[in-house]
Amino acid sequence: MVLNVRIVKKVFAIFCIVFFAYSSTFPPALASEASSTSFYARQNMQSVGGIGSSTSFKLLFGEEQAGAGLSSSTSFKVLSGILRSLYQAIAPSYNQLHYHWRNDDGGETTSTSATSGNQDTELAPISVNTIKRVRIEIANTGGTIKSFSTQQFRLEYGLLVTSCSAIGTWTNVQGGTDWSMATTTNLVNGANTTNIATSTGGVTDGNHTFLTSNGGVRTSSSTTGSLSVPSDTFVELEYGVRATSAATDNGVYCFRVTNAGSATNFAYTEYPKATVSNSSQSITLSFTPGTVNLPGLSPGVAVTATSTLTVTITGGTAGYSIKINRDSATSTLASSTLTFPDYTAWNPGTGCSVGQGNATTSPGSNFSFRIQSASTTASYCSDWWGANDNNGTALYAGTPTSSQTVMNCTTCNSGSTDTSIKYRVDAPTSQKATNYNGQVTFTVLANP
Amino acid sequence: MNRLLHVSKEAKVVSLIAFLMVAVLLGGGSLVGVHTALAQVSTSTNQTINLTVNQTITLSLSSATLNLSSLTPGVPVSATSSATVSTNSATGWVMKVNRVSAASTLASSSITFPDYTAWNSTGNGNATTTDLIGANLHFRVMQTGTAAGIYSTTYWGSSDTDGAAGAKYGGFPSSSSTATIASTSTYAGTSQVVVLKVRADAPATQQATNYTGQITLTAITNP
C-alpha cells in the first residue's frame, strides 16, 4: 500500500511535469477576457478579441499583428507582432541617438554643419559668445503602453570630468551660468524642425516616423512644448546656444535632453560635446574679388570697381575695426617708376560722427576709395562716407600711408559681416597710358 | 597788274583716339589670402589693384583758318599755323596731312591752283628746296616753334631759311597714307606743338581771283 502510494505520487509528479511542459509548449487559446491582477494575457496565433479592463496588465497582440509600417532603413527596425512583444519595451524609451553641431549661418534648412557634415562629432573649441546650434535626435525606441505621456524636451549641460554619463549635475541651458540659449535672426523660437540631410547638419533617422509638428527649434527657450512621441517615432530638436564668459576655459561640456528636468525613460546613446576656449578670439578676413581690376580708364571719364571684405569673428567682446593703408609710400598705383596720383589721404578724425573725416564728393583726377552703404552689412558710417552711394553725396578719400580706420563695429562679436569698398579712379589727360597696379592692406583688429 | 590772291585755308581738326589695351590684366574673382588666427586679435592681408589707362589724343590748331596774303605771281607768300598735340600715349604719335580735294588744294570754282608734287614720307621724303620748287602751293614743318624732337631735318631741311641749302617743301597729298609730317615715339607728358608753314607762288597766267580749300591734319597715337 505504501508502495502504491509512492507509485501514485511518482505518476502524479510525472503527469504534472508533462502537463506543464505541454501547456508551456502548446498553450491553448486564451479566454477573451481576463480579470487577474497577476498575469498578462498572451495569445500566440490569434488576436485577442476581448478588452482588458485591469489597470495592472495589458493585452498584447499575437504574431500575426500587422506592423505599423515598413522600413528599409538600416538604422532602425520596426517591430510588430510577437517580435514587438518580445523585444520592445512597453514603456517609452526616449533615446538621445544622434546629434550634429551646426553653424549659425542660415535658416533651419540652410545653415551649414560645424563639423564638416559629420554627425556625432565633438565641436572644435569655440570662443565664448559664439552662437552654435546643436541638433539632437530623440527617438522613442520603446512603447506607448506603459508610462507614456507627452514630453517637454529640455536641453541641459554638464561639465565633463570622466564621462558624460557620469556627470552628476546637469543644468538647464536656459538661465545657465556657463551656457545660455542664443537668439539668432536665423531661427524662430518654436518653429518646427525638418528632417534635413546629415550633410547640412541633420542626423540619421533613428526610427520610422519623423514627428513633423514639433516646435523643436529653440533659441530663447530651452524647453519644447508638450510633445507626444509614440513608438517608432523620432523628433529632431535644434537649440541655439552659446558659452558664456563664466564657462570653464578649455572645459569640455556635455549636453542632454530631458523631460523638463526628468531623465525617466530617457536613454543616451550620444552626448553632444563642446570645448570652450573662453580666452581666445578669432578673426578672418577675405576679399571678393581678391584682385580688383578697374575698367580701362580714358582720362576724364572716371571708372570704379568694388570689392567686398568679409570679416568673421568669434569670441569678440567689443567688436572689431577695419583699417586701410597703401603699401607704397609713393603712391597706391604705379607703373615702374611712374606714379598714379592719389587723393588726399584718409583721416578719420576722432571717429564716426558729424564733421569727422576728410572725404570729399569730388576727388578729381586721381585714385580714391570709399566704403559703400550698399552691401555693407554692419556699421556703415554715413558721417564718414556720405548719406548714400549716389554721385554728389558719396564721399571719397585717398589711401593713407599709415593705417587708418574705415569701419568700426562695436557690436560685431561673432559671425560674419561684409564691408563693401569702392575704388574710384580718374586721370589727368597727360597721365601716361599704360598699366598701373599696386596694393592696399586691410587690417582687422578686435576691439579691446 | 595787281593781282589779289586770297588764299584761305580751313584746317579741319581730326583727332583719333586709339584705345590700346597694352597688357593683359590678371583675372579677378579669386579669394585672396584668408588669415585665421585663433587666440589672436588681428589679421591683415593685401589686396592688389590693377588699372589700365587708355590712350587719348587731341589736336588743336592756333587758327581754324589760315589766310595767305595777296599773291603777286613771282613773289611767293607764306603763313604759319600751329598744331598742338596733347596725348598720354606711352609710345608717341604721328601727324599726317592731306588735302580734302582730289583735284587741288586750292580752287576757285572750277579753276584750280597748282600744287607741288605730293609729299611722300617714304624714306627721307620727297620735299625740295625753294630754288627748285616752282610756282605752286606747298608746305613744310618749321623747325622754329616745333617741339624738340619732333622736327625732322631729313624731311624738312637743315633750317627754316628758304633757299638752295635750307628749307624743304612738299605738296599737299591727296591721301594721308604716306603723308606723315611729324612724329615721336616717346611719352612727353605735355602738349607738343608742330608749326606748319604754307607757302604759295603762282605762274603769271594764274587767274586773279580768290582761291580757297581745305586740308586735314590727323594725329594718331602709336600702337
A16-75 pLDDT per residue, tens:
454 444 444 444 433 344 455 555 544 444 444 444 445 554 444 444 444 444 455 666
Which residues contact residue A101 at a Cβ distance below 8 angstroms, ignoring those fewer than 6 apart?
A113, A114, A115, A121, A123, A132, A133, A134, A135, A201, A272, A274
Are A307 and B48 spatial neighbours (Cβ–Cβ below 8 Å)? no
Burial A362-397 (b: 16+ CB within 10 A, else e): ebebbbbbbbbbeebbbbbbebbbbeebeeeebbbb
Nearest CB to A423; choose among B28, B30, B49: B49
Smallest Cα distance from B146 to chain A, Å: 19
Nearest CB to B52; choose among A332, A435, A440: A435
Least confident among A235-239, A304-308, B162-166: B162-166
pLDDT digits (tens, 9 = 90+) for A69-97: 445 566 666 666 555 655 566 789 999 99
CB pairs under 8 A between A and B: 176
Chain A: residue nearest B26 by CA?
A293
Contacts with A, B 73-132, CB within 8 Å: 86, 88-90
With cut-offs at 50, 70 and 90, classify the pLDDT of residue B91.
very high
Q: How far is CA B77 from CA A175, A435, B70, B73, B83, in A?
A: 104, 48, 8, 9, 20
Q: Measuring CA to CA, which residue among B194, B74, B61, B203 is closest to residue B139?
A: B194
In a domain, B49, yes or no: no
A281 touches chain B (CB under 8 A): yes
Instruction: Specify the pLDDT at position A184.
Output: 93
In a domain, B207, yes or no: yes
pLDDT digits (tens, 9 = 90+) for A265-301: 999 999 999 988 766 678 899 999 989 999 999 999 9
Give the single-character DSSP code of B55: P
CATH of the domain at B140: 2.60.40
For cell 496565433, name the residue.
A45
Q: How far is CA A438 from CA A292, A330, B23, B48, in A?
A: 10, 11, 15, 6
What is the identity of the amino acid at B46?
Answer: N
CB contact under 8 A, B44 and A429: no
In a domain, B32, yes or no: no
Q: Span A282-446: which CATH code?
A: 2.60.40
- A-chain CB neighbours of B46 within 8 Å are 327, 439-442
Domain that includes residue B70, residue range: 6-21+54-221
Spatial separation of the C-alpha atoms in residues A32 and A173, rounded to whole Å = 51
Q: What pTM did the predictor assign?
A: 0.54
ipTM of predicted complex: 0.73
Contacts with B, A 205-264, CB within 8 Å: none
Spatial separation of the C-alpha atoms in residues B214 and A67, rounded to whole Å = 103
Count of beta carbons in the 10 Å neighbourhood of residue B23 = 12
Contacts with B, A 341-380, CB within 8 Å: 367
In a domain, B31, yes or no: no
Chain A: residue nearest B46 by CA?
A441
Which helix (DSSP H) or strand (DSSP E) does residue B155 occupy? helix B153-156
Q: How many domains does chain B have?
A: 1
Which helix (DSSP H) or strand (DSSP E) does residue B132 occupy? helix B130-133
In a domain, B147, yes or no: yes
Chain A: residue nearest B28 by CA?
A291
Smallest Cα distance from A244 to chain B, Å: 17
A286 touches chain B (CB under 8 A): yes
Q: Enumerate the domain spans of chain A.
A: 94-276, 282-446
